[in-house]
Amino acid sequence: MGSKRRGSTSVEELVGHVDGETEEAIAKPSKKKLKLKSEDEGHEEAASEVNSLSAAHSSAKPMERKKKRKALDKERRLVATENAEPNSNGSGPNMKSDDRWEPLATSPMSVLPEFHISVFKNLASADVSTREVAAEALTRELQEVQKAYDRLEEKERAEGLELQLEAEKDDGLKNCAPSLRYAVRRLIRGVSSSRECARQGFALGLTMLGGKIPSIRVEPLLKLVVDLLEVSSSMKGQEARDCLLGRLFAYGAVARSGRLIEEWNHDKTTPYIKEFTSLLISLASKKRYLQEPAISIILELVEKLPNECLVNQVLEAPGLDEWFKVATQVGNPDALLLALKIREKISVDNVIFAKLLPHPFSPSKFFATDHLSSLVNCLKESTFCQPRVHSVWPVLVNILLPDTVIRDGDVLSGSSSIKKHKKSRKSNSSEEEIVKNVRNFCETIIEESLLMSSHDRKHLALDVLLLLLPKLPASCISIVVSYKIVQCLMDILSTKDSWLYKVAEHFLKQLSDWVKNDDVRRVAVIVALQKHSNGRFDCITRTKTVKDLLAEFKTESGCLLFIQNLISMFLNEGSASEEPSDQSLTTDDNSEMGSNEEKDSVGGAMNNSEILKSWVIESLPSILKYLKLDAEAKYRIQKEILKFLAVQGLFCSSLGNEVTSFELQEKFRWPKAPTSTSLCRVCIEQIQQLLANAQKGEVAHGLASGLEPNDLGSYFMRFLGTLCNIPSVSLFRTLSSEDEKAFKKLQAMETQLLREEKTCGLSTGASRVHALRYLLIQLVLQILLRPEEFSEAASELIICCKKAFVASDNLDSDGEEEEESGGMPVLMDVLVDTLLSLLPQSSAPMRSAIEQVFKYFCDDITDDGLLRMLRVIKKDLQPSRHHQDPASEDHDDDEDDDDFLGIEEDDESDEAETGETRESDEHNDDLETVEESEVVDKELPEGSDDSDGGMDDDAMFRMDSYLARIFKERKSQGGDEPAHQQLILFKLRVLSLLEIYLHQNPDKPQVLTVYSNLAQAFVNPHTAEGSVQLGQRIWGILQKKILKAKEYPKGETLQLSILESLLEKNLKLASKPFKKKKSANNPSKKKQSASLNRYKMITSLGQDSTFWILKIIDSRKFSELELQRVFDVFRSTLAAFFDSKKSNLKAVFLKEIFKRRSWIGYQLLGFLLEKCGNAKSEFRQVEALDFVNEILKSLVSVSKDNNKNSQEVSKKVLKSHLPKLCHLIKELVNKMPEKQSRRAEVRKFCGKVFQIVSTLGLNKSFLKVLEVDAHGVCDSQLGDVFLALKKQR
């Protein structure tokens, strides 16, 4: 402390400096410094100043009194120092400074204990425990001092001898020891300090002192707070704020000390409680930021005082009545808070609350609309304490939602499906009152006041709603999550830059967490969000709120409750009575939006209603996606959804909106407004999807073993038949005679197949029947969905079912069916044709059913049926470049087999190319000239109608019905694009069937047919380039299901000639150059990249296909004589590799062939050595050395792995080729390449050859065959490698 450095020997003078420093650093009541008199003035002058100060104390101004007191204290300390210095101990020169001043020591004649002022420093510590220890030490020491002081008989003499420590005789603390006086004054000044945690620490010390030392009376304590923390007109800014906050903390310390309660207990007429309340009210009126904490101090005192004291003292405090009266005008939420808390404590109405509380008070009157309107200003102004929510809101929530009644309300809302007991009328009335109060509160305060105001008040509105959530019954969720709240959330969340975006996001998160474990709440929230956003909440807010809530349903009861609520929303039950407020709010909101909303017609409202109903229809099946229930529970939920969708989507009632089925013992209802055709279509689509998902989820279909109740398709058909038999119920649309006939036939056939399925048990036949049954059910719905399109296909499918499973005498014959011979093959052809005819216009569930049928029947498919499917993939709607007669189309298919992949045309022709070219270079084999390549997509002229060529109508309709339908639609629409896109979709669907076939039959010889046609379609630019998706799909099937599958075609029926032809064409495909289109000009980089990628894919297809075909050939174990054609194909390929610049065959690819199929290398070794020795291209020659090396390595590996006979065979093979091998080495060493890398490759090759020759023991033979003149060249070019060979000889 600063007084240590001054080295004063007087304790009084030292303490004066300490106090002065504290006053300057902590309290800082004024910037002006007191001018003290000089220290050499006499004692008489000081005494006269004391008398003058006492005389003028009552009349002088506060600041003048303060200055005079400080001057007098200074003079008194000087006098005391002079008197005490001769008699003080430890004042010698050898005494340490700390021993002289740190404890406030007493004189020898005094018996008062020491008081250590260092505790004041720790009171300002940021650590809570440090402050508490310091406050306890302070209180403990001062208690001992005061006790000793109280035992003194001559207190006046003690005061004269003791250190006065700034204590004045008129401060009211006459019975307090000087140290205690000093501590009280210093603590009061300390609470005004903004240093660290001084306010908290000094207030704690003042609280403990006031509570434990009764000598400190309330009257002088309140007076000291006013005097020492006076705010004068000269104070501004931080200085005035510190004094105001200091008074606030000081009053809080007085309230918490308990002295006021003791005063009341001692004297019921004490004026100090009134004075204390009045002082706090006065302080609260000075600044807004003092208002809430000042009232919190009063409320803390109110909780401790008895009711009599509250009525006679607190409510009678001066200024309180006026404060309550003007509260609603100025907007004072703290006045409302104080009134509510006092009224709650005393439970008695008082006229002083007349402006704030109803008289008599009751929750229903308080939350009446008129009374809430009078409180709007008070509650609006509570935003000043944001982001914290004002204390008045939790109090309002507690009154609005009492705990006991809310529990009853939750029970009632959660058990709405259970019959209510007769004795629940009282709880029902309480619940109704709560619902009414909540509605008034939300409409008047939240929606009409806060939401219509600033961003801060919108923020407050959402915070208040979060306060309501923990106690909110499910029956009130629709009131809280109202139209305007949802619209507010959508407005905020639709823009991420919104100021309140994070607030709304937090609100939704808390709302989602609140409903997490409660299905009743979750259902109510989902319904509210979607109802007020027309089913588009997630779409508008760009969140997944509703989707995530839907995914959280885990129980059967929760799902059924959700289904019931959605059905009620769809039927619009009680909308006029349940939502009058929402309707009025919508009108008000629309009136604010302007003329755009006023222009909306009734049709527009119906459109919004249809959007919401459409969401209801689509959401019902979606909850099954995330459910993890047992089969029985899931089946019950599926039935409820299916019944609703079937009733609303398939039927309508001619007699009212409600029909009772006595057979099903159920009532069926329809909306008052007729359901539109578009909504009926959505219902049918959802039924189809529901049945398709149910079919996929079935593991076994053993109906005879007790699984019949879980057959959703069978239940649907029975339900459909029952409703069709009700006279007052009819289908939503009138069917044509053909469709009606097909509709009834499908129903009858499904019944027959169901009986057949029961007799099959768990066999494969049962799976076939089950799949056909579900296809029939999907076809029934498809006839209703797309009338006059599927009746013919339905008739054909019924014929297939009859021939496959049902005896002819079991069904009535109408004479229209013709007997067909040929057995199963004919049946399969008809079935394939029927399935293909259903594919083009079918829905996704329908396609799923078709795929299931094809999966179980594809084992019996004929070659003709397979070719029909493949013909669809190869079919192209683009016009032919060479005009040809349609009658030659069948001949073209045969030519396609002869001209596989279209690579037989002249190299100069660009007709079958994709428009890419490449300038090949024998020294550059990595497509470096991509930048020079150009792409031209051959497009049809707009409006061209010549794509059909000379095809007449008869020829067109002789084609398959499914392709004819696409051509007809193309002509009717007068353009190419619709038919082209539909054909692509049709091809993709047929590819799915082919993929199923390949998965089920990977080793059949027919896989070769599928491969050749798919490869041809992929290479054809008009087939694959028209759609990237189609090309990728074909590529994926070729790679995953054929070329890289574990199984491959096997059997004696595989013809070697076909394999040889495919091998030759794929080798040509692999060597195909990257050509440049002559007519191309400045292609874009995107086209260049696409062109190059396609070229790489085609080349890769040729390579992979070659490996695959060789694997098939190798598995057949053909003789060497039979494989001569294969060897000839490779000879011609190698010849082109060495001689033709147009060959783009990769050396790595050829090397891999020789590595995998060594028997090819053995036959081609001699040819390869000749071509290497006479190669025109040095680059090709060096590349081919790897081929030779790979073949020779295989000879060595065979000789090592097998017996001596194999070694002899390897030696014999190599010995037979030694002349050509020596000739090659001679040519290589005589004409060493100029490039260093190539010379290294040559030396490396020669070294490996010498090593292989040595391994097989042919050193002598090799050197003998090698010409003499070549020995010298080998010595000079190869060096030690050749010398080592000669030494081994």
Residue 665: DSSP 8-state: T
Label the pairing between strands 666-669 and 658-661.
Answer: antiparallel
pLDDT band at 1266 (very low <50, low <70, confident <90, very high): confident
Write down the number of H helices and E strands in the chain: 65, 6
**In terms of C-beta density within 10 A (0-12 exposed, 13-18 middle, 19 or more buried), how is residue 756 classed?**
buried
With cut-offs at 50, 70 and 90, classify the pLDDT of residue 977.
low
At 409 the pLDDT is 44
For residues 446 and 436, give the distance between their C-alpha atoms in angstroms, rounded to a whole number.
15
Beta carbons within 10 angstroms of residue 517's beta carbon = 10
For the record, the structure tokens of 244 come out as 């105001």
Q: What is the mean pLDDT of residues 1100-1121?
A: 92
As a three-state string, the secondary structure of 1185-1226 is HHHHHHHHHHHHHHHHHCCHHHHHHHHHHHHHCHHHHHHHHH
Whether 405 shows a pLDDT value over 60: the answer reads no
> Counting Cβ atoms within 10 Å, is residue 445 exposed (0-12), middle (13-18) or buried (19+)?
buried
* 719-730 mean pLDDT: 91
Per-residue pLDDT, 878: 60
Q: What is the DSSP string of 71-126?
A: HHHHHHHHHHHHHHTTT-TT-STTS-HHHHHSEEPPPTT--PPPEETTHHHHTT-S
875 pLDDT higher than 70: yes
Average pLDDT over residues 1216-1241: 88
Between CA 372 and CA 356 the distance in angstroms is: 10
- pLDDT exceeds cutoff 70 at 300: yes
Position 919 pLDDT exceeds 50: no
State how far the alpha carbon of 942 is from the alpha carbons of 44, 510, 1137, in Å.
Answer: 122, 58, 43
Q: Residue 437: pLDDT band by 50, 70, 90 thresholds?
A: very high
State how far the Cα of 611 lies from the Cα of 615, in Å rounded to an integer.
Answer: 6
In the DSSP assignment, the letter for residue 667 is E
Whether the Cβ atoms of residue 1019 and residue 1098 lie closer than 8 Å to each other: yes
Q: What is the pLDDT of residue 576?
A: 37
Closest CA relative to residue 836, chosen from 844, 825, 847:
847
Q: Is 23 a residue whose pLDDT tops 50?
A: no
In whole angstroms, what is the distance from residue 171 CA to residue 181 CA? 9
Lowest mean pLDDT among 157-161, 264-268, 1050-1054, 1266-1270: 157-161
Lowest mean pLDDT among 338-347, 736-745, 1274-1283: 1274-1283
Confidence tier at 604 by pLDDT (50, 70, 90): very low
The pLDDT score that the predictor gives to residue 962 is 59
For residue 1188, pLDDT over 60 is answered with yes
DSSP letters for 855-872: HHHGGG--HHHHHHHHHH
CB atoms within 10 A of CB 1137: 23
Q: How many residues does the chain have?
A: 1289
Predicted confidence at residue 20, as pLDDT, reads: 36
- The strand pairing partners of 104, in sequence order, are 115
Amino acid letter, residue 38: S
**For residue 68, what pLDDT is reported?**
60
**pLDDT digits 0-9 by tens, 779-826:** 999 999 999 888 898 999 999 888 887 654 444 444 444 444 444 446
Res 586: pLDDT: 34
pLDDT value at position 1171?
A: 87
Cα–Cα distance measured from residue 699 to residue 398, given in angstroms and rounded to the nearest whole number = 55
- Inter-CA distances, 237 with 285, 291, 724, Å: 17, 18, 86
Q: What is the predicted pLDDT for the residue at 112?
A: 73
Burial of 1076 (0-12, 13-18, 19+ CB in 10 A): buried
Q: How confident is the model at residue 928 (pLDDT cuts 50, 70, 90)?
A: very low
Residues 780 and 687: their CA atoms lie apart, in Å, by 11
Assess whether pLDDT exceeds 80 at residue 425.
no
Instruction: Look at residue 879 in the predicted model and tell me its pLDDT.
Output: 52
pLDDT in tens, 747-787: 999 999 998 888 887 677 888 899 999 999 999 999 999 99
Structural tokens at position 912: 């079958």
Is the dihedral angle over the CA atoms 155, 161, 162, 164 positive or is it negative? positive
Question: φ, ψ for residue 664 (rounded to 5)?
Answer: -90, -10
Amino acid 62: pLDDT: 58
pLDDT for 63 equals 59
What average pLDDT does range 277-306 have in this prediction? 91
**Cis ω for the linkage preceding 402 (within 30 of 0):** no
d(CA 1271, CA 1273): 5
Nearest to 465 by CA among 524, 421, 510: 510
Note the pLDDT of residue 431. 84
What the block records as the tokens of 302 is: 């109110």
Closest C-alpha among 100, 81, 85, 11 to residue 39: 81
Token reading at 1072? 């195909």
Cβ 729 vs Cβ 651: under 8 Å: yes
Grade residue 1149 by pLDDT with cuts at 50, 70 and 90: very high
Mean pLDDT of 251-264: 91
Percent of the chain that is helix, strand, coil (3-state, to 5): 70, 0, 30
- Of these ranges, 80-89, 168-177, 727-736, the one predicted with the greatest mean pLDDT is 727-736
Q: Which two tokens stand for residue 1232?
A: 């060493």
For residues 742-746, average pLDDT: 93
Distance in angstroms (rounded) separating the CA atoms of residues 594 and 770: 59
Pinpoint the alpha helices (H) of 368-415.
369-374, 376-380, 392-400, 403-414
Give pLDDT, residue 436: 93
What integer pLDDT is reported at residue 133 of this predicted model? 92
- Does the pLDDT at position 19 exceed 50? no
Query: Would you tell me how many other CB atoms lie within 10 Å of the CB of residue 810?
Result: 12
Task: Name the one residue in this structure whose structure tokens are 């704030």.
Answer: 356
More confident residue, 41 or 223: 223
Instruction: Return the pLDDT at 396.
Output: 94
What is the percentage of the chain residues whose pLDDT exceeds 70?
Answer: 73
Average pLDDT over all residues of the chain? 77
Element (DSSP H or E) covering residue 653: strand 651-653
Query: Are the C-beta atoms of 922 and 1177 separated by less than 8 Å?
Result: yes
Closest CA to 720 of 647, 620, 783: 647
SS (H, E, C) 949-966: CCCCHHHHHHCCHHHHHH
pLDDT interval class at 960 (50, 70, 90)? low
- pLDDT score of 158: 53
The secondary structure of 879-934 as a DSSP string is PPSS---GGGHHHHHHHHHHTGGG--S-TT--TTS-S-----BTTB-S-TTGGG--
Q: What is the DSSP string of 133-167?
A: HHHHHHHHHHHHHHHHHHH-S-HHHHHHHS--TT-
Tokens read off for 1228: 């290589």
What is the per-residue pLDDT for 1007? 93
| pLDDT of amino acid 760 | 80
Tokens (6 digits) for 54: 């006492």
Using an 8 Å Cβ cutoff, are 225 and 232 in contact?
A: no
Could you please report the per-residue DSSP string of 796-851? HHHHHHHHHTS-GGGS---S-PPP--S-HHHHHHHHHHHHHHHSTT--HHHHHHHH
More confident residue, 45 or 687: 687
pLDDT digits (tens, 9 = 90+) for 489-520: 999 999 988 899 999 999 999 999 999 889 99
Task: Give, in order, the Cα–Cα distances in Å from 1145 to each of 74, 920, 923, 1073, 1150.
Answer: 111, 11, 13, 8, 8
CB distance 787 to 736 below 8 Å: yes
pLDDT at res. 255: 92
**pLDDT tens across 198-244, in order?**
899 999 999 998 888 888 888 888 999 988 888 887 888 888 899 99
Query: Is residue 1251 scored above 70 in pLDDT?
Result: yes
By the 8 A CB rule, do 520 and 554 touch? no
Other beta carbons within 10 angstroms of residue 966's beta carbon come to 23
Q: 465 near 480, Cβ under 8 Å? A: yes
CA distance 671 to 683: 14
Identify which of 388, 553, 365 has the alpha carbon closest to the alpha carbon of residue 456: 388
pLDDT of residue 1254: 85
- Residues 710 and 632: beta-carbon distance below 8 Å: yes
pTM over cut 0.75: no
